[in-house]
Chains A and B, each alone.
Chain A
């Protein structure tokens, strides 16, 4: 019931339900109250225009049009509801038939429905109008039968979704009869979307019926519905346009009443598509974070390719996935960033590349790349386009599927280096050769789907080499790849870095990958750098408990390959609710009261090794980490934030929100063909938006961050 009240809380819902109530009220009362007025003949006022006596004029017998329009409500609505009832019942039967009748007959039904829905509703209506005969009865049957296939398709889609579920499969295995499965298990689960769609369908039927009567194929005189009134009005449109317009407006309003109500119910029951109003961004002034205070203003090194001070990324609602990160990279240096998903490492990379989109907001005290201040409002496109190379995680989705690889590489040359189309393409081929793509001429003409994953990642690196990169940002460049090609891609990155003397920022959840490639590592936790140390020191001199846990979790040669994967016990911090004090405290085996109240500052020990922990000096028993929480900690999902690390940035817009009648996508499922005829449309078959991305995000969020057997940790 709460959901029903939610219907009434939206403006659309209020408007729809109010209108629908009025329409239904009129349908009941109007003929009783005004029935006689509507038939009263006023011979003094034939075809009269609007007057005090007849507000919107009269027809050719001098009957009052306003009353006639009002009285016609009953017949119009009643016939529409009747036809809808016939159509939806028939559609429901056809829709569940495949489930009831078994596979072979089911296929036939599906095939027939598929053929029928290919025809526009109006054609079906006309066909059946002929078959059932011209007149009210024929028209009701015709419209009813004509909407059945579309509704059946919808039901089939919903049923297909339910039939795959476990409880249906279980019932089937348990030998429950088909009829019972349908009645007890399937129908209750699809009832809501069906009712919503039936409501919207009724709106469409109302319009169809008006059309049929307008053509003279529906209600016959002396009865009249809105369509009939319109037809009578049209013949006199020169003298008296309102006579045709008034019933038309009535049809539209009534149709809208059904549609809006349906949409509102859909919205309340399904996934709301409207994003909440954006909260003002909590703006933490730079320098007020502990790390900011710790960083010394004066020490600006000019050998840095990239210099980042106090970088923060925030989203509306007070979510701050990156909370003050400072570091620099020198030319030719390879710097790794490790951390769990949600640690803010990918967003850090994206914000450096200036790829964080609204409503995400990037603040920093300093952000210079090759000596250029990126925070300045200026056009940095050429610099970033030629000197910054970005390699993304998933090469499968990072190339445009409908453009040739060569073209996609050549674009950089065309737009930033002033190359002609031909020479840009030649350079693209050359670059493909440089990243050891064989037969680059032919490969350049191919589409991404003709490339293997590893090959695509090479091409992506090649794309970065179109210019002369000073910095290569590689965000999990090997995570989506086969183990066999991972090392090749890493080697390629290394080679490119050396050849070009470029800096490399390698983001990974895998400590061993970073340890192989990089000289220095930043360990990130909950949007902060918690430790910054040379890779050599990882095994020997890691001081932060989190770093040590990460390192201890890395399998070494002695580890059995089939040993179970381990995680660090406890859950990563939800960026929307960062606790006071040290963010790691909840998972830290040596946390004390100070840790829980006071946030540790990232301190440099003088050698460049930075740590943010109150207890770095203590030799800690890390034994408890591996054993305390067991191996199967829940995966860090469901915070609503999991999309962020993916770079798409906090997207709750939900425009293709699974439920096909809700989102913006619903427009086409319900309005169907614009003329209002194929009322149920084909929303079912057409759901290309939405869900795909959600699934991808879920799978992309790295569930298990560190791989190792528990014993290893506990040693």
Chain B
């Protein structure tokens, strides 16, 4: 974390072990959990406040201008909007702990039911896309790094750099639209929309995976290149190990450590990326739900889905940090 300590400030010894006994691992876990909890609290509070930050009366907005005033009043009461803010907040948090996310204004269904029904479609999409991106990016990045090292095969390098920049900067939903137009509409190879069987996954997964794969491959390449120039790789070469072993056993794990940080960010953003891609493919997941409920001003539903998305992202980030600490015991644990 970046802390901006003024240079002239007196140096205080860092309170290293204060309050937290045990080894570095314990401290790491405690600190990381602490950060997760704070972030969760911010998230919950933000999602609670959302309904209050909306301009005008949220219930009136949801039910429309023509709705009878007593219906609006009843609904407001049912949502607890007449209570003092603090009471509402405690109420909201209390219900959260019981897994109760409230009730949709539009469909009267429990928000948690809708979410648990739609989450699998989104989660499977994101995870599959992430797996594909990693499976493509790591071998590709390694291969290009090894092949173009030290100014060799400049043409390959330039092609790779160009392609990956372009692919990495095209948003997933545009890729999705293009894929639909070409592969589904024109060629008819895959279903245009919906979630029905394995083939329906192909296009959304490609749309989600292609950009992150390109970005990841570039990073793997850069990391590989810098690792291949280290002293310990020179040592490995001095041992005359087969180049496959040098590249995969000696270099790759070191390159991946740094890559993983970004991989985690990519996974988190892929989860978010599903929102757009799902709308391209009319995918029955959380992404379509959130957009629908925003347009219909179904605020409890919006709160619930935003919360779930946010929690997933935070958990993914935490898991990545833990994985990093496991792979590379030196780095993450020692300092904050």
Residue of A nearest to B287 (CB): A215
- Which residues of chain B (146-201) have a CB below 8 Å from chain A? 149-152, 161, 164-166, 168-174, 177-178, 180-182, 185-186, 192
For residue A94, give the distance in angstroms from its CB to the closest CB of chain B. Answer: 12
Distance of A690 Cα from B238 Cα, bound (Å): 24
For residue B176, give the distance in angstroms from its CB to the closest CB of chain A. Answer: 9
- Which residues of chain A (444-478) have a CB below 8 Å from chain B? 447, 449, 460, 463
Q: Is A415 an interface residue (CB 8 A)?
A: yes
Q: Is B273 an interface residue (CB 8 A)?
A: yes
| Interface-lining segment among B20-28, B110-118, B240-248 | B240-248
Partner of B169 from the list A215, A245, A671 (CB cut-off 8 Å) is: A671
> Which residues from B are CB-within-8-Å of A412?
239
Q: Is B30 an interface residue (CB 8 A)?
A: no
A-B contact count (CB 8 A): 310
Q: Is the CB of B273 within 8 A of A122?
A: yes
Q: Is B92 an interface residue (CB 8 A)?
A: no
**Chain B interface main SS type:** helix
- Which residues of chain A (670-700) have a CB below 8 Å from chain B? 671-678, 682, 684-686, 688-690, 693
Please count how many residues in chain B sit with their CB below 8 Å of the partner chain's CB atoms.
102
> Which residues from B are CB-within-8-Å of A380?
240
Partner of A237 from the list B151, B180, B279, B299 (CB cut-off 8 Å) is: B180
> Which residues from B are CB-within-8-Å of A172?
6-8
Q: Is the CB of A110 within 8 A of B232?
A: no
Distance of A118 Cα from B279 Cα, bound (Å): 24
Distance of A256 Cα from B166 Cα, bound (Å): 8
Q: Is the CB of B169 within 8 A of A98?
A: no
Partner of A210 from the list B171, B237, B279 (CB cut-off 8 Å) is: B171
> Which residues from A are CB-within-8-Å of B212?
673-674
| Interface-lining segment among A354-362, A516-524, A581-589, A604-612 | A354-362
Q: Is B122 an interface residue (CB 8 A)?
A: no
- Which residues of chain A (187-243) have a CB below 8 Å from chain B? 203, 207, 210-211, 214-217, 230, 233-234, 237-238, 241-242
Q: Is the CB of A126 within 8 A of B294?
A: yes
Please count how many residues in chain A sit with their CB below 8 Å of the partner chain's CB atoms.
115
| Interface-lining segment among B79-87, B96-104, B257-265 | B257-265
Distance of A673 Cα from B219 Cα, bound (Å): 12
Q: Is A36 an interface residue (CB 8 A)?
A: no
> Which residues from B are CB-within-8-Å of A252?
169-170, 174
Q: Is the CB of A693 within 8 A of B271?
A: no
Partner of A398 from the list B50, B177, B226, B232 (CB cut-off 8 Å) is: B232
| Interface-lining segment among A501-509, A529-537, A649-657 | A649-657
Q: Is the CB of A217 within 8 A of B294?
A: yes
Q: Is the CB of A402 within 8 A of B151?
A: no
Distance of A146 Cα from B237 Cα, bound (Å): 48
Q: Is the CB of A689 within 8 A of B226?
A: yes
> Which residues from A are CB-within-8-Å of B3?
107, 110
Q: Mark A271-283, 1 if CB is under 8 A from B, else 0.
A: 0000100100000
Given known contacts A118-B317, A402-B327, A651-B229, A103 and B272 CB-to-CB distance under 8 angstroms: no
Q: Is A636 an interface residue (CB 8 A)?
A: no
Q: Is the CB of A664 within 8 A of B221?
A: yes
Q: Is A441 an interface residue (CB 8 A)?
A: no
Partner of A653 from the list B38, B151, B241 (CB cut-off 8 Å) is: B151
Q: Is the CB of B164 within 8 A of A401?
A: no
Q: What are 8 A-B contacts defined by CB distance under 8 Å?
A: A120-B269, A131-B50, A163-B6, A358-B151, A400-B250, A656-B226, A674-B211, A693-B226
List the 6 closest pairs (A to B, CB-CB), nearest first.
A673-B269, A674-B211, A385-B240, A241-B181, A120-B272, A381-B240
Instruction: Name B's A-contacting residues (CB within 8 A).
Output: 1-9, 38-39, 42, 46, 50, 53-55, 149-152, 161, 164-166, 168-174, 177-178, 180-182, 185-186, 192, 211-212, 214-215, 218-219, 221-223, 225-226, 229-242, 245, 249-250, 253-254, 257-258, 261-262, 265-266, 268-273, 275-276, 279-280, 290-291, 294-295, 299, 302, 306, 309-310, 313-314, 317, 327-330
Instruction: Name A's B-contacting residues (CB within 8 A).
Output: 98-99, 103, 106-107, 110, 114-115, 118-123, 126-127, 129-134, 153, 156-157, 159-160, 163-164, 168-169, 172-173, 203, 207, 210-211, 214-217, 230, 233-234, 237-238, 241-242, 244-245, 248, 251-252, 255-256, 259, 275, 278, 353, 355, 357-359, 380-382, 384-385, 388, 390, 392, 394, 397-403, 408, 411-412, 415-416, 447, 449, 460, 463, 647-648, 651, 653, 655-656, 663-665, 667-668, 671-678, 682, 684-686, 688-690, 693
